[in-house]
Amino acid sequence: MRPFRLHEPTTVQEAASALAGSGGGAALYAGGTELLLAMKSGLLAYDTLINVKSIPGLDAVSADGDSIVIGASATHSAVEHDPLVRERLPLLSEVEHGVANLRVRNVGTLAGNLCFAEPHSDPATLLLVYEAELDVAGPSGSRRIAVGDLQTGSYETSLGPDELLTAVRVPAFPSGMRAAYSKFGYHHRPTLGIAAALAVQDGVVADARLALGCVSPVARRLSRSEDVLRGERIDALTEDSAVLREACRLASEDADAVEDMHGGVDYKEHLVRVFMERTVLRALARNGGGDG
Amino acid sequence: MTTRGFKTVGTAVRRVDADDKLSGRAQFTGDLEVAGMAFCKLVTSPLPHARITRVDASRARALPGVYAVLTAAELVNMETHYGSDKKDRPVIAIDKVRFQGEPVAAVAAVDLAIAEAAVELVDVEYEELPTVTGIDEALDGAGEPVHDSNFCHEYGYEWGDVDAAFRECDRVFEDTFEFPMVYHYAMEPHTCIASYEPDRIRLWTSAQHPFLVQAEIARLFGRQLDQVQVVVPYVGGGYGSKSYTKIEPLVTALSREAGRPVRLALSVDEAMRTVRRHAARGTIRTGVMNDGTIVARECTGYVDTGGYTDNGVRVTERFGDRMPGPYSLANVRVKTYGLFTNSTPAGSYRSIGGPQAIWVCESQIDVIAHALGMDPFEFRVKNLVREGEEVRRGRRPIEGDLEYALRRVADEFGWDSWTPGPTPPGVKRGIGFACGVTNSGASPTSTSLVRFHADGSATVYIGSAEMGQGSRSVMAQIAAEEMRIPYEKVRVVASDTTAVPWDRSTGSSRSTTLMGLAVHDAAVDIRTQVLDLAAEHFEAFPEEIEAEDGRASFKGETVAFAALVRNMFGGSGGELMGRGYVTPKHPSGKLRQDPVFWEVSIGAAEVEVDTATGEVRLLRYYSISDPGKAINPKQVEGQDEGAAMQAIGHTLFEEMLYEDGQLLNPNLVDYRVPVFTDLPHEFETVLIESGNGPGPYGAKGVGEGGIVCVAPATANAVFNATGVRISTLPLTPERVWRALHEAGQA
Amino acid sequence: MAEAQDTLAVAFELNGVPVEASVEPQTPLIDLLRERFGLTGTKRSCDVQVCGACTVLLDGAPVSSCTVPAFEVRGRAVLTVEGFAADESASPLIEAFVNNAAFQCGFCTPGMLLAAKSLLDADPAPSEDVIKDYMRGNVCRCTGYKKIVEAVHEASEAGR
């Protein structure tokens, strides 16, 4: 790996100005699980890495009203095992357990995973249905964006060259919401990820949140499929029901699947239909409420 | 003698390398430090097929800390090409590159960082040539051939009247099956340290065949054998990837340029561009009678040997030898071809040509059984070669009862009583069977030396490389057994060409059988000498003396072997030397015929297929291993299970993907090898000990059989579950789904 | 305000012993362990955090030393296979690996042992499925995994 220098700021402001002053020669470093592999292989090269873990308190996981706030340097393992997350975001804990392998989870961070914007991310897909928000800091202050506004392409985000993600704010699902996540594939990275969260009131789908990831460069919500499910009676949402089939069909249409090592477009679209149905049914089967 | 029971043979002794390997002390080549050592990085071709028009290393040579840069221009006063059968591989690319990743220049520097920086400063210009990708393009012959032509080797044999048999049979089947390029992933990538010195060349290297490396290096650099020392420390997995000579010539030539020892440790990316298994295509025509008797088989096959021959000649032949299968066939015609393409050279990989051949053979056997309405198991049994029959004309007859072995596996698997049981909608279960015999490629040539020390301990000297198979423990067991001393008193020194006597190689499941025989004979030589000394001591005949546990006894009196040796030398020291020579003329008479043994492979698989996604889950897999005599039963199981797990890789996931000559997945993120969660719920080795091998105690080789049958048994099970035949590996979800989809089953 | 550094002093506990070293930011932990401290039991293989041959425990948690930078160990405890094997508490797991033929070439074994230790520390009686799931990030190309699962089971409270 090409030599680089390490900058260890102690405040977010310091990190932001170091980033701003580097003219693109610096990158933020948290877990490094993706970044360092790219640097080892020569795909990326930086003069300086800015270690966000040197900023005190950025690894905290805390509650803020209905939301759980996950600091930028909290690892996947820390999130998975955090008592607050397990209690109030059990599906996030479950999905974090499935990320890569134990060693990656022990080092890699949730925020880093989102910012690296590798297309095959489970959390990036799941957080869409949690309607998570991101705290973004820059030299001129901070702003809050929806998680869905972060990734703009393969390895590309909307963050400015002098901005950093400081926290991921994940609201717990409203009571009565049932949720499930499915991933599929045999490669090291998932071929497909689907998240479904359905609010059920009096036997009717009051709200539906569906997200799809990995089959295309950017994870996305599937609003047309959500619209189809909203207002439907859940006892009518059975395997092969016309409504569910329509939601699955629209999901595959909206997938924008790309052909790659994980499969051809038609296969991926087919998988979207299969797993959309399975995930919705699995979510609905969790009739105890909550997202567990 | 005949009533004596084994003391250590047949038991799962503590491996002699256990303490080294479970403490972190075990040294592999990359763990060694040689004084003054420089570090090497390679400049490799980004193009799969090109003429090299210019190599300019002057900027790299000028970088402080760079000792030398090796290019084709430096290959003077030496032979320039090497190879086990055809010497077509240049030490470093000369004039032309034939695969992406072929080394074009090599840098030796003070440290790896400088070497890496210097690599960027080597300027190479290429004139790109059209790429030959895969078997079809190699056969097509358009564009520039990889070598003089794209044909590497042709092989064939025939007996009976094949054409007449096809005319007279009731039905003829013709099917084609494809096997992918796969990579061994020995976890230790190839590593070599070479020290080119005025009076000798020393190498420490991750090689399976130290003496073949020694001979190749001596030839290339014009040295005598005694001037070339090859030391093989522990090897971190071989499976054939470290057979013959790989990076050693390049590192030696670079050491000569640098004037100091040089180390090259490949990355996985580079190892994937060093050697792989041959992709293959096989077509079989089979003529059968309506009662299920096979009367003729005609096999045509192609193997893709990549940019250079490596072991392509033998693999072409073995693919042909193995394709007709373990059946009694009156009429056979086989023709196989090895082809050059612009891809990583293909060499040995655990049962060369075997998994490819049996994939073709056993997939088609299932096709035929189904078409005839016969149980695929009974169809196999009906046509199986019988004990003592020549399964290949002019070769050693089959030495075991295959039908018994097949029935054992079927019984333990529960073939006859199996039912799919309840499954969720869209999920289907099925079972499949496969069997094969593989002619071991083991050459019956090994030597061994045993020193029996004055304190009753002994050192055994063998050429075998310890790459995980446990050969050092097995040799210690055999030596202890035959010297009548405890296992713990035996130490094994291995694979240093200046210390141990010659051995051909470590591969082809040969070490226990052939090196084992050499060690056996050397230990018997010691025992004979000890008994002579004891006879002198007791004033008795040698045959009257009991020897056990390091002591000789006669009429109630005992004397330690150690005391006998010390007495012989008249003092406190001294030692005996025993030797064992294994040649085709070995006095046992069992090594005259080729092959020295047949390795049996049988597999029974149960799968679950998710027809919606195409995912195949291997629920149960039963394999057989017949080591003749299991000298260490746990290690025999370990060989079989490990081989079967590697096969699960090429059956379900593994494939090197090339596009326009570029390897798309040169890393473990994208090249998926099996992990813990791929372990079937039942993963069993049925161990039978037929006692009919040519090795010590009737032992014969294992370690390759387990890899051969997984793919056909699994695909046959997928067919049983879904009615859909898949003719190309691996059985990835997408491939299976497409096949099901086309058949209207998805 | 901190300046960017091109060398860093690291003080940490290595196999129970306090140590210090100077590292460059790009130095991965494996190079510090192997080259500075001569602890060659830690192996480099895939170099992309898939295989687990380079596994060491950082404050008790398995990490890939091929990728984790050496500076990350500041103020923390690193356990390598050498430190693990030297401790008496390792013996049930080591003996279980011997008894079950849970190693062959030995290249994955240091990482495998440390992953298994970390599992048994967290869950003294794991089920077979838990063993497979926990260990799925450690590749072994020789054994076929079954014998490692059996060894970990034997070394667990459930297997004794």
Dump pLDDT digits (tens) for B241-273: 999 999 999 999 999 999 999 999 999 999 999
Distances (CA, A) of B170 to B162, B163, B176, B286: 14, 13, 21, 11
**Please, what sign has the CA dihedral across residues B366, B369, B373, B374?**
negative
Question: Tell me, what CATH number does A28's domain have?
Answer: 3.30.43.10
pLDDT for the residue A100: 96
- Which of A154, A170, A186 finishes a domain? A170
CA distance B725 to chain A (A): 19
Question: Tell me, what CATH number does A230's domain have?
Answer: 3.30.390.50
The answer on A143 and A202 residing in a single domain is no
pLDDT for the residue C104: 98
d(C-alpha B285, C-alpha A199), whole Å: 61
Question: What average pLDDT does the structure give for chain B?
Answer: 97
d(C-alpha B453, C-alpha A12), whole Å: 71
pLDDT at A200 over 50: yes
Q: What's the alpha-carbon Rg for chain A, to the nearest Å?
A: 19
Is there a contact between B513 and B447 (Cβ–Cβ < 8 Å)?
A: no
Q: Chain B neighbours among A 268-287 (CB < 8 Å)? A: 270-271, 274
Q: At the fourth CATH level, which superfamily is domain C8-80?
A: Beta-grasp domain (3.10.20.30)
Neighbouring subunits of A (3+ Cβ pairs under 8 A): B, C
Percent of chain B with pLDDT over 90: 97
Distances (CA, A) of B513 to B331, B675, B687, B697: 32, 31, 17, 9
pLDDT at A288 over 60: no
d(C-alpha B37, C-alpha B117), whole Å: 18
pLDDT for the residue A292: 43
Q: Provide mean pLDDT across the span A186-202.
A: 96
The answer on A166 and A71 residing in a single domain is yes
Question: For residue range A71-121, what is the model confidence (pLDDT) as tens digits?
Answer: 999 999 999 999 999 999 999 999 999 999 999 999 999 999 999 999 999
The answer on A113 and A76 residing in a single domain is yes
CA distance A13 to chain C (A): 11
pLDDT for the residue A287: 62
d(C-alpha A191, C-alpha B466), whole Å: 39
Helix spans in B323-373 (H) = 354-372
Question: What domain range includes position A228?
Answer: 177-285
Q: Tell me, yes or no, if B670 comes closer than 8 A to chain C by beta carbon.
A: no
Mutate to test the interface with C, among A1, A6, A14 (most CBs of C within 10 A): A6
List every span in chain C annotated with CATH 3.10.20.30. Answer: 8-80
The answer on A71 and A163 residing in a single domain is yes
Tell me how far the alpha carbon of residue B424 is from its chain's centroid.
41
Band of pLDDT at residue B511, cut at 50, 70 and 90: very high
pLDDT per residue, tens digit, chain C (160 aa), is: 678 899 999 999 999 999 999 999 999 999 999 999 999 999 999 999 999 999 999 999 999 999 999 999 999 999 999 999 999 999 999 999 999 999 999 999 999 999 999 999 999 999 999 999 999 999 999 999 999 999 999 999 988 7
CB contact under 8 A, C6 and A3: yes
> How many Cβ atoms from other residues are within 10 Å of residue B743's Cβ?
12
Q: Tell me, yes or no, if A264 comes closer than 8 A to chain B by beta carbon.
A: yes
The answer on A207 and A141 residing in a single domain is no
- Which of A33, A53, A73 finishes a domain? A53
Both structure tokens of B227: 């001037």
Of B389, B704, B734, B742, catalytic: B704
The answer on A274 and A183 residing in a single domain is yes
Question: For residue range B69-98, what is the model confidence (pLDDT) as tens digits?
Answer: 999 999 999 999 999 999 999 999 999 999
d(C-alpha C43, C-alpha C37), whole Å: 14
CB contact under 8 A, B188 and C142: no
Question: For residue range B637-692, what is the model confidence (pLDDT) as tens digits?
Answer: 999 999 999 999 999 999 999 999 999 999 999 999 999 999 999 999 999 999 99
Question: Tell me, what CATH number does A99's domain have?
Answer: 3.30.465.10
The answer on A200 and A126 residing in a single domain is no
Which DSSP string do the residues of B83-114 spell out, in sequence order? Answer: -SSS--EESS--SEE-STT-EEEEEEESSHHH
Distances (CA, A) of B615 to A40, A53, B420: 34, 41, 17
Q: Is residue A164 part of a domain?
A: yes
The answer on A164 and A128 residing in a single domain is yes
Find the helix or strand (DSSP H, E) in which C95 lies.
helix C91-99
CA distance C75 to chain B (A): 24
pLDDT at B2 over 70: no
The answer on A275 and A209 residing in a single domain is yes
Band of pLDDT at residue B1, cut at 50, 70 and 90: very low
d(C-alpha B710, C-alpha B718), whole Å: 12
User: Could you tell me the end-to-end alpha-carbon distance of chain B, in angstroms, rounded to an integer?
Assistant: 65
Q: How many separate domains does chain A show?
A: 3
> Residue B366's closest CA among B177, B159, B163, B164?
B177
The answer on A140 and A97 residing in a single domain is yes
CA angle B562, B479, B599 (to 5 degrees): 175
> Residue C6's closest CA among B605, B438, A8?
A8
Q: Is residue A291 part of a domain?
A: no
Q: Is residue A166 part of a domain?
A: yes
- Which of A125, A141, A170 finishes a domain? A170
Neighbouring subunits of B (3+ Cβ pairs under 8 A): A, C
Assess if CATH 1.10.150.120 describes domain C84-159.
yes
List every span in chain C annotated with CATH 1.10.150.120. Answer: 84-159
Q: Which of B425, B615, B672 sits opposite A188 (nearest CB)?
A: B672
ipTM above threshold 0.90: yes
Both structure tokens of B532: 């002579």
Q: Provide mean pLDDT across the span B324-330.
A: 97
pLDDT at B570 over 60: yes
Question: For residue range B519-549, what is the model confidence (pLDDT) as tens digits?
Answer: 999 999 999 999 999 999 999 999 999 999 9
Query: Does B188 participate in catalysis according to the annotation?
Result: no
Question: For residue range B432-448, what is the model confidence (pLDDT) as tens digits?
Answer: 999 999 998 888 999 99
Q: Domains (ranges, CATH) in chain B?
A: 18-26+443-582 (3.30.365.10), 32-129+188-236+241-271 (3.90.1170.50), 279-441+595-742 (3.30.365.10)
Mutate to test the interface with B, among A188, A215, A272 (most CBs of B within 10 A): A188
Q: Provide mean pLDDT across the span A272-284.
A: 97
